[in-house]
Structures are given as C-alpha cells and as structure tokens.
Amino acid sequence: MLVEFAHNKYQWFKNIPVEQNTDAYRLTEFVTKGDLTATYYPTLRAHMITSLLGQKSDNTYYWALWRWNNEVSNWELIPVGADLFIIEDREVLAWKYTNSHDTDGQNPTQTP
C-alpha cells in the first residue's frame, strides 16, 4: 500500500500479510496502526478518510483510493468505498492526497 501526500512525499507499506475477505479500510487501519480519522456513512456502508498519517483533508484536498492494474500498468480509481473493496492476493493500493481543483495529475505518481 502506498500513501502519497502532496509535493512528492510518500510512504510505502510492503509485503503486508492480508487475511481472506479483508477490505481496504481494515487494511488501511492496520498498516497505519490506526493513525487515521474517518467518518462512517451508513447509507454508503463505507468510511470517508478525513485524516491519514497526520495529513488532514480540507476544503481543497481529500483522500482518494486507487488500485494498480497490472494489465494496463496504470492506477485506477476505486469505484466503491474502501469498506466495500475486498483485497485480492498481490493487490497494490494507494491513498492519494488529491487536490479537488486539479483536473490533471490526480492519480498517484509512484508505481509498484
């Protein structure tokens, strides 16, 4: 799992053992040792991350979740909440601190 902050600052968490049926939110809690803040939305059945490893969302920036697609060698935005995305074997995920006003360069810059 990659956590990519603004201004080319990032942190990798590699070779994390994941139990079957682990979702992306639980994995995020595990790798960050709980250093996150989130709001749970029952209608979406998912959490929205508002702070990750000390970096808080604000009016301009938010945390977006991506997965690496090996077939096309590119990042893809996760289409569901982190709680609903079940991790597969050798899955590579990235949380990207994303500028909501930036129409270019939204996906993570680091690659697996």
> Which tens digit of pLDDT belongs to each residue from 91-101?
999 999 998 88
| 3-state secondary structure (DSSP) of residue 83 | helix
CA angle 89, 80, 13 (to 5 degrees): 45
Q: Chain centroid to CA 73: how far?
A: 18
Q: How confident is the model at residue 102 (pLDDT cuts 50, 70, 90)?
A: confident
Average pLDDT value for residue range 45-52: 95
Could you tell me which residues come within 8 angstroms of residue 110 by beta carbon, excluding any fewer than 6 positions away?
2, 4, 10, 12, 94
The pLDDT value recorded for residue 39 is 95
Burial class (CB in 10 A: 0-12, 13-18, 19+), 5: middle
DSSP 86: B
To the question of pTM greater than 0.85 for the whole model, the response is: yes
Sketch out the chain's domains with CATH numbers: 2-99 (2.170.130.30)
